Amino acid sequence: MRSLALGAAAAAGSSPAAAASVMRAAWQAVLWHVVVPGLQLAVYVCATMSLMLFLERLYMAAVVAGLWLQRRRKRARRRRRLARDDVRKRMRLDDDDDLESGEDRRCPMVLVQIPMFNERQVYRLSIGAACGLSWPSDRLVIQVLDDSTDPAIRELVEVECARWAGKGVRIRYENRSNRNGYKAGAMREGLRKPYARGCEFVAIFDADFQPDADFLRRAVPPLLRDPGVALVQARWRFVNAGDCILTRIQEMSLNYHFAVEQEVGSACHAFFGFNGTAGVWRAAALADAGGWKERTTVEDMDLAVRASLRGWRFVYAGDLAVRNELPSTFRAYRYQQHRWSCGPANLLRKVLPEILRSDRVSPWKKLHLYAFFFVRKVVAHLVTCLFYCLVIPACVLVQGDVHLPKYVAVYVPAVITLLNAVCTPRSGHLLVFWILFENVMSLHRSKAVVIGLLEASRANEWVVHRQARRRQGYGSHDGGGREEREEVAAAETGGARAGARDGGVPALLRRLRHGLLWPGPLLLVPDPAVGGGLHRRLRLRRRLGAGSTLLRG
C-alpha cells in the first residue's frame, strides 16, 4: 500500500494517464484487501441474523396454523354437540365463558385505571366507556389518573368525573403535583390509595381506548378459573385504520403482532409483552412482581417480564377487542417508534441477568424470552437496516466480487413479508409500500436500539410533541383525536376555497401536517393554470369512490 502511494505521487508529476493507472491499482488493492473481506463478513453476519428471524417466523406460523386447526375441530365438535342438546343447554354452553349478569356474587372488586396527560380530545370518550362497563356498581371503582399540566384540561377532566359521580358511578379523580415516574409513577401511586387496596383485579385503559360494555365479563373469568394467571390481554381494534396510508401500514404490522406473536406467546409459553393497556391484572401478581417501575420507557413490558420470572402466567384473549386509534401523523409515529424500539433494548440490558439467574422459569421459557427480546426487538431492526439498506446495495456496487446467497437476499425476506401480509389481507395491495416504509423506518429504529443498548442520553426520553400532545402523553398511541377530526371535517366543508379565505394554501398544509385530516382521502395536484406547480399553489380535491386515490387504499 505504501509503495502504491509513492507510485501515485511520482506518477502525478509525469502524465495524467499514468496517475490514473496508479490510482486504479490503489483502489483495486483497497477493494480486495479491505472492502471485499469486510463486506463478505457483513454478509455472513447479516445472513445469520436473517436466518434467526426466519426460523422464528416459521415456528410461529406453524404454531398459529396448529392452533387454527385445533380450534376448528373444537368448533365442529361443539356444533355437533349443540345439535343434540336442547335449547336451554345450548344457551348455557354459549354463555359458559362469561359472568352472568345476575350472579353478582361471582363478581370480584375491580379497579379501572385510566392514566392520562393533557387529553383534551379523548378524555370524555375514555371516561364514558369505563363508566359504561357492565359490572355491579358496588364492585367497580374507576380511577382517573390525570397528570395534566394544563389547568384548563385538569378542570375539564375533574368536572367530567364529578358528572359521572353524580350519576352514582364510583369514580375517583386523582391529580399529582409532580410527574415522577410518568405513567408508571401515576399508576403506582394510584394503587396505594385506601379505596384501591381491596380490589382483586386491576383493569388498565389508556386515554385513547374505549372498551365495550361486556369487557370485564369476558376478561375476568380466566382469572377466576385459574389462580396462576396474572394477566388477561385483549387485542386492539383500530377505528382509524383507513384514514391514510400511514395508518394502513401500521395496521399491517400490529395485526401480525396480535394475531401471531401474542397468540404464540400465550399458547406455548404463557408469556408475552403486556401492551400497557386493554388488559386486566391480578392485584396480587402486581404486588408479587414488585409493582410499577420507571427504570425504562416500557414499564408495561418490564412488569410483564418480572411477573413471568416469578412464575405467573398470561392469557391472550384474541376474540376480545378494544377500540383505539393509530397515530395519523408521521412525527407522532416517529416518536412512538423510538420509544417502542429503544425501551425493549434498554430493558434487555437490565433484565438479562435476572432471566439467567431465575430458577422459577424453565430453560424452554428462557429461550422464548431470549427470542422475544434479542430476535424480535434487536435483530429484527438491525438486520433490516444493515442488510437490506446498506450491505446489499454495497454488494451491488462491488459488482459481484462478494458472494451473496440468493436465498438470503430474496427468498428469506419474501417469506417473512408474505407471512406478515397474511394477517391483513385487505391491505395486500400496499405490500410494496409497506416494505419501502419499513426499510426507511429501520434506520430510525436501529438508532433507537443502539441508544437503548448503550443506555445513551435519550434512552429514557419521554417526548410530548406539541402538535400531537393530545395523544402522546401516556398512551402508546399519538394520533389525532377522533372528535377533533369530525369537528374539523364539519368546519372545513367548504374545502380548499374556504381554507384559502382563512389563510390560503399554507394554512391548509399546516392543518394537514398537524394531523387535522379530512375524513376522506385527499389528492394534492398542481394547478396547470398557474406556473410554478406545487411550489406556488396547490389545489386540494376530495375524491370519493372505490378507485379514488392511493391514500384510501
Catalytic residue ranges: 147, 300
Question: How many angstroms separate the CA atoms of 121 and 160, rounded?
Answer: 13
CA angle 334, 146, 173 (to 5 degrees): 155
530 DSSP assignment:
S
Question: How many angstroms separate the CA atoms of 133 and 482, rounded?
Answer: 21
**Amino acid letter, residue 471:** R
Overall size of the chain counted in residues: 553
Question: How many angstroms separate the CA atoms of 186 and 144, rounded?
Answer: 10
- Say if CB 340 and CB 377 are below 8 A apart: no
- Say if CB 538 and CB 509 are below 8 A apart: yes
Residue (of 247, 267, 354) closest to 66 by Cα position: 267
In sequence order, what are the residues at sequence separation of 6 or more whose Cβ sits closer than 8 angstroms to the Cβ of residue 6?
none
- Say if CB 289 and CB 279 are below 8 A apart: no
In sequence order, what are the residues at sequence separation of 6 or more whose Cβ sits closer than 8 angstroms to the Cβ of residue 522?
512, 540, 541, 542, 549, 551
Question: How many angstroms separate the CA atoms of 56 and 36, rounded?
Answer: 30
- Say if CB 308 and CB 314 are below 8 A apart: yes
For residue 161 the three cell numbers come to 368525573
Residue (of 227, 164, 170, 181) closest to 201 by Cα position: 227
Q: What is the 3-state secondary structure (H, E, C) of 235-251?
A: EEEECCCCCCHHHHHHH
Helix (H, G, I), strand (E, B) or coil at 232: strand
For residue 209 the three cell numbers come to 381506548
In sequence order, what are the residues at sequence separation of 6 or more whose Cβ sits closer than 8 angstroms to the Cβ of residue 111?
141, 143, 191, 196, 199, 201, 202, 203, 283
For residue 524 the three cell numbers come to 394534492
Residue 496: how many other CB atoms lie within 10 Å: 17
**Longest CA span, the chain:** 104
Distance set, CA 413 to CA 55, 286, 319, 404, 407 (Å): 12, 39, 30, 14, 9
Question: How many angstroms separate the CA atoms of 543 and 553, rounded?
Answer: 12
